[in-house]
Every structure is written in C-alpha cells, then in structure tokens.
Structure 1
Amino acid sequence: MSDLPVPVPEALGTVVEAVQPTHNQGNAATGGIWLVEGSAGSAVLKIARPPTDPPSGNPAWPTSDDPGHWNYYRREPFAYRSGISDSYADFGVAAPSLLSSSELPDGSVALWLDVVTGTPGTSWKPADFQSFAERLGAAQGSFVGRVPPMPWLSRGWLRSYVERTPIWAKWDVDWDHPLAQVWPVAVRRRLAALWSARLSQVDRAVAAPRTLAHLDVWIMNLFSSPTGFTLLDWAFVGEGGLGEDPANLIVDSVTDGYLPVSLLPEIDAAVTSGYITGLRAGGYTGPVSSIPSFIRAYGAAKYSWFAPAVLGRCIAEGTVGHASYGVRGTAEEELARLTGLVTMLARWADDLPLD
C-alpha cells in the first residue's frame, strides 16, 4: 500500500501497513514527512527537498541550496549525519536516531528517523518546562564561545527571519478597529511601535553571548519521558544567542491554543529559572542577571510580527490560524484568548518583567 518516494528499510518488514503524512506542506525545504508502519516496526521518513522551478511551498517558506540561507534544505541532513543533532544528548536532550539516509536523483535527501514516544510538549505542565530548560541551559552553557565551524550551520538566523516577517504581517493595521478593542490601548500602541522598530529589537537581542542554538524549540518539537527529552526538527540549527531558544519556547507554548494563555506566567518563570540554573551547571561563567533581559529581547524581536499579523488577518479575513495545526475559535475569541500573550510581548519590548 506504499506510494513513498524511496524504498522502505528492511528493518520495517516486508509489508507496509500504514503511511501517515504529517508535515507542513508550506515549507519548500520539506518534500514530505511520513510516519511509516511496517510489519516489523515503524519509522519516520523525512525528505529534504532542494529548490524547484517553479518554487514549491508557501512564499513565506522558500528554501535554497546556499548554506548561508536561513532555510538551507541540506542543513538538517548534515546535522544528523555529522552528529550535531546529538550535541545536547549528554545533558538529557536527545534528537531522534538516524536509521539511514540516502541521496535521491533530484538532489533531495531522504532521512529515516526513529519514532519518538513520550509525553508531547502540548501536554506539558510548568514543571516539565523547567526541567527541559535546565537541560537546555546546561547544553548551551557548555557551547558558549565555541560554536562548531561547520559552514552549513545557520548564522544570523534571527535577522533573516525578522526581515521576511512582512510576508505575514502584510496589512496596514488599524490598531483602533473595533476588533482590536479587546487589547488595552497602551498595549496596542506598544505593539505598533515594536513592529515599526523590529530590526532595532534584533540589534538588542543579538548582543547576547553566542552559543549553539536549535532555533525551533517549541512544544510541537518536544517530547518528555522518564529518561529525558527529545527535540525534533534540526533544520535551523546554528549560532544563536543565550536566551534565544527559551524565548521561543515561552512564547510559542501558547500561540496555537494547545496550552492556555493563563499558564504563560508560570511557563515564563519556569523556563527562565530552569535555563539559568542549567547555564551554571553547563559551565557558563557570565552574569546570569542579564539572562532574563536576553530572553525578553529575543522574544520581542522574533515575535514583533505576531500581533500585527493576527490582528490584520482578523480584520481583513475574519479568521486566523494555521491550516495544519492549532486549536482555533472565531476571530473575536482568538483575539481575546491572546490578550495575555500580546501584553507580555509589549512589556518584553520595553524589557519589563511579566506581572
């Protein structure tokens, strides 16, 4: 019953019993992700796809054969083949095991990965976030000032990301529209200013000490088990700043509705304290008092687009959300649900702690 683009490994057995596609089809660097169940076992097949003519996927997620590109299609295959994806393993954060990889005639790369089990990040409690952040902090503390020199590792990722966010926040937002009234006026004013000054926010963020960062740490890429944590999707891995990954985890824990925004203060506190504890355990000797400011700077910079994109789409289209994932209500319900999050981003832009 298999119509997969590559042969199935012998370890899965002689019969393919089920094939379930699981990927976001908008990313041009991904030619497909399938959970494949065979008569003798299961595995995940992921295809890393080169640029196509005409371009594949969503214009917001183009790929490139340039190793310096933020979405370089071979970065994840290189990460698995080189062992970079195992860089955090000694600290309790593992990547899926690479079972095999192969080059395809069109330049794509096929990765067969072990199936990850455990509790998904979408079901975590604040204590899980804190435990993970400790391990992440220890790993990243050990890499401060010694990011590996591989030319395919991403560098300057945040700036490349923020420079393309007008693709999502493409509307001339009326911050006083009736739909926007659910957000306090002072918050709306600060969010508008943050959007206008987003590149200055990047400048503020990237002053943080450099380390080896994953750059896509969010609850959909995380699993926990009694033996540790597993972190998926190493397609952006490279040089980043202390606080960059924790900021992403805090903000993106609630954006899609899997966890309630009411948990955000607890998640913020848990991730921040856990990360600081981990940094010290990993050998970081710099001033940890600056780490919360780094987290807030990265969060405000990366998500400077979020409020204008959400509000603009609600006003223009009457809807919001991603077709492939998320738990959604009406536009009015979503704007109300996100009030706590956008308020936090407004405060982070001014480097204020969350009350």
Structure 2
Amino acid sequence: MQAPQPVRTRIGGAVTHAETLTHNSGNAATGGIWRVHGPAGTAILKVARPPSAAPAGSPSWQTSDAPEHWNYWRREVTAYTSGFAAEAYAGTGIEVPEPLATVPRPDGAIELWLAEATGAHGTAWPPARFRHFARQLGAGQARWAGRVPALPWLSRRWLRQYLAHGPATTVTMRTDEDWSHPLTAAWPAAELRRVWEHRETVLRRAEEQPRTLAHLDVWPTNLIADGDRTVLIDWAFTGDGALGEDIANLIIDSVTDNLIDAALLPDIEDAATEGYLEGLRDGGWQGDPDGVRRAIAACGAAKYGWFAPAVLGRMIRGHRIGNAYGRSLADDAAELERLRGLVTMIVRWAAL
C-alpha cells in the first residue's frame, strides 16, 4: 500500500502494515477503511467508491453520482477537503480528523487519508458523556437553525430518501399472519404495526420540524472522546435535517447493534435529550424545549419505524439477525427481550 507524502510524514515513513477496520461493508459508497501503520504513527485510509456497472454492496445501500442523493459518494470527501466539516460546529468542542491527502484511483474511486483520532469511542461512554456531547452538538446546531447552507453537495430530504431506498425496503411483514406470529407476542406488535403502516404520517411530522445543519449519522461508533473534546467522524450524509434528528439517531442507535447495554437506554435518552436542550440554549436558541422533544420523537420514530418489522420478519423466516460491528447477538428469544425497551420507546415516540 502506497501512501502520499503528507501521510508518510505523519506516520514517519512508508506504510509497514494495514488493518481493516469494521464498517458497514454493505454501503456501496465505501470501498474499505483501514488503519495504516508506519514507523512513528498511524493514519486512516477510507476509499470513496463511485457507482459502477456492477453494483457493489447491499441493494439497500447503493450510491449515486447525483449530489442530492442520500448516499452521494463524493459528499464526505468534499466535506473534509473543503474545510466544511471542521468549521460546521467549530468552537463547541466538536472536532473532526485532520484530512491529510486525497488520491484518485484508476477505477475512479478516491482515497481519503485522515489523521487518526485517539480516545474513548462512544461505545464505551457512560450516559454522562453522551450528555456532554449532546450539549456540544446542540450549541453547534443552534447557530444553523433555520439557515442551512445552500451548498449543492449537502443532502436534502435525506430521511425520506433513506426510507425509500435504504434498509426499510427489507421489511417482509406484510400479512395478518405475519403480525400474529407467536414471535410477535414478545413486543407490542399491534402498536408497532400501526407505526409501520402509518409511517408516511410519522415521516411528514418529522419533516415539518425546524431545520438545521445535521450530521445525519451520529451514533457511538462515529464518536471519540478526547478529554472534553469530541471527535465526530463519517460525514457522508451531512446536510439539511431537523433540530433533534441527530439526537434521535444517537439514542436509538446506541443499542441497536448490541454495542452498548440496552439497559442503559433510558439513561441515554434522558442524558442526550437534556444535554441537547442545554446546548441549544448555550448557542442562543430561544425556542420551545417541548417542541424539540417532539422533534426528537418524530424523527426517531420516522427513521426507525421499519426496525421492529424488519427484525420480526427475519426471525419469522428463520434468518439470523446479522451484526456487522463485531458483537455477537443472542438467540431469537434473548434478542427480542434485549430490544423490548427500544421498540417500546419507538412506539411511545410515534405517539407524541
């Protein structure tokens, strides 16, 4: 593996070896992520991959050349190299990895070389650290409330596109027989079915919320704590979003992949919500805090209304629930029990 000169300077010479990092390998926009080692340090290599005649990855994670597409393959490279990611929430304690170099590949892909951020990943955070980050994010998003930049490569209507083309398309719960299957008795099946079947209503409620500049992929694996600073990585989706949309995602996606004990979900919900409201006030926002709580609920229920039906559908059809992030999942009964609090929260959020 050849590294450009700025990377060799950072790592003290040529690459000695590289290790593959865990990521969503189904996302066609990502051609791989590696930690590269040199004599004196490390760096991160992420390959941004364009669409091809032979589509890669999962059918629900395809990419596009269109800047308005939810999974536009150049968005993250542009966010870093333009300085946009570094400036988006500057001064709040949120930082991004330093971009070191970009290198075009013969196949049209782009190598994005980044300095490696060090510290405690979000999967190891206690609820109090979630509150600290949420306060930083609230302060950063307050400054963008009602005035998202008009840059052509920023995502627009991201949530609607994601739901139309992403993982929600894998739901197989379609009949009364599915929804009355014995496995569904572990969860509030009737309420979950209503959320799924009225998903357009919930989505419209989310889209009606006040807008800000959102990251749109805030979850523990994209967060690194370095003292009071928080490094926020993976800017591939950034653009127009609702106030509270990132916090909704952080709360729910803290436990979906079993990377954090699901028993902590109520504490994470409270910590992230209250921290975010504090941050909005720090940033000069003077709106209604209950309105933000409703926005968090609407966005979370809209984005994850498919989650329970997808899990149940796979179980009913005898498919194991996969996990791309290195943590084993239990058998069906234990997994249903582990996620009971999460799906109950989604039902509650959909009703607010």
What TM-score results when the alignment is normalised by the length of structure 1? 0.93
Counterpart in the other structure of 2:300: 299
Counterpart in the other structure of 1:46: 46
Task: Work out whether residues 48 and 109 of structure 1, in 8 Å CA contact, stay in contact via their aligned partners in 2.
Answer: yes
Partner deviation per Cα, 1:223-260 (whole Å, 9 max, x = no partner): 11214101110000001010100000000111111212
Check if 1:182 corresponds to 2:186. yes
- Gapped runs of 5+ residues in structure 2? none
- Which deviates further from its counterpart, 235-244 or 109-118? 109-118
Deviation, structure 1 residue 324: 4.2
Counterpart in the other structure of 1:196: 197
Counterpart in the other structure of 2:155: 154
Counterpart in the other structure of 2:275: 274
Distance 1:318 1:170 in 2: 12
Task: Work out whether residues 16 and 39 of structure 2, in 8 Å CA contact, stay in contact via their aligned partners in 1.
Answer: yes
Partner deviation per Cα, 1:37-62 (whole Å, 9 max, x = no partner): 01132100011110011111111100
Task: Work out whether residues 8 and 14 of structure 2, in 8 Å CA contact, stay in contact via their aligned partners in 1.
Answer: no
Task: Work out whether residues 98 and 114 of structure 2, in 8 Å CA contact, stay in contact via their aligned partners in 1.
Answer: yes
Task: Work out whether residues 258 and 327 of structure 1, in 8 Å CA contact, stay in contact via their aligned partners in 2.
Answer: no
Counterpart in the other structure of 1:20: 19
What TM-score results when the alignment is normalised by the length of structure 2? 0.94
Counterpart in the other structure of 1:82: 82
What is the CA RMSD across the aligned residues, in angstroms?
1.5
Distance 2:146 2:104 in 1: 34
Distance 1:234 1:220 in 2: 13
Structure 2 residue identity aligned to 1:258: L
Counterpart in the other structure of 2:342: 341
Change (3 A) 1:324 1:133: closer
The 5-angstrom pairing of residues 202-241 of structure 1 reads: 202-241=203-242
- Gapped runs of 5+ residues in structure 1? none
Distance 2:325 2:92 in 1: 32
Task: Work out whether residues 25 and 57 of structure 2, in 8 Å CA contact, stay in contact via their aligned partners in 1.
Answer: yes
Check if 1:92 corresponds to 2:93. yes
Q: Percent identity over the alignment?
A: 49
Distance 2:163 2:24 in 1: 20
Counterpart in the other structure of 2:120: 119
Task: Work out whether residues 163 and 169 of structure 2, in 8 Å CA contact, stay in contact via their aligned partners in 1.
Answer: no
Change (3 A) 1:29 1:318: closer
Distance 1:129 1:294 in 2: 19
Distance 1:312 1:163 in 2: 18
Distance 1:143 1:24 in 2: 29
Distance 1:231 1:326 in 2: 22
Task: Work out whether residues 173 and 312 of structure 2, in 8 Å CA contact, stay in contact via their aligned partners in 1.
Answer: no
Distance 1:34 1:317 in 2: 34
Task: Work out whether residues 243 and 295 of structure 2, in 8 Å CA contact, stay in contact via their aligned partners in 1.
Answer: yes
Task: Work out whether residues 159 and 199 of structure 1, in 8 Å CA contact, stay in contact via their aligned partners in 2.
Answer: no
Structure 2 residue identity aligned to 1:181: A
Task: Work out whether residues 138 and 280 of structure 1, in 8 Å CA contact, stay in contact via their aligned partners in 2.
Answer: yes
Deviation, structure 1 residue 163: 1.6
Partner deviation per Cα, 1:281-322 (whole Å, 9 max, x = no partner): 112122222111000000000001000001111111242132
Distance 2:83 2:310 in 1: 37
Structure 1 residue identity aligned to 2:104: E
Structure 2 residue identity aligned to 1:84: F
Distance 1:318 1:24 in 2: 19
Distance 1:150 1:266 in 2: 37
State how many pairs are aligned.
345
Counterpart in the other structure of 1:133: 134
Partner deviation per Cα, 1:10-65 (whole Å, 9 max, x = no partner): 22244422211113221110111110001132100011110011111111100000
Task: Work out whether residues 173 and 179 of structure 2, in 8 Å CA contact, stay in contact via their aligned partners in 1.
Answer: no
Distance 2:4 2:100 in 1: 13
Distance 1:180 1:33 in 2: 37
Distance 2:266 2:291 in 1: 19
Deviation, structure 1 residue 325: 3.6
Deviation, structure 1 residue 218: 0.3
Counterpart in the other structure of 1:30: 30
Distance 2:143 2:112 in 1: 28
Partner deviation per Cα, 1:130-161 (whole Å, 9 max, x = no partner): 10000000000111122111100000000111
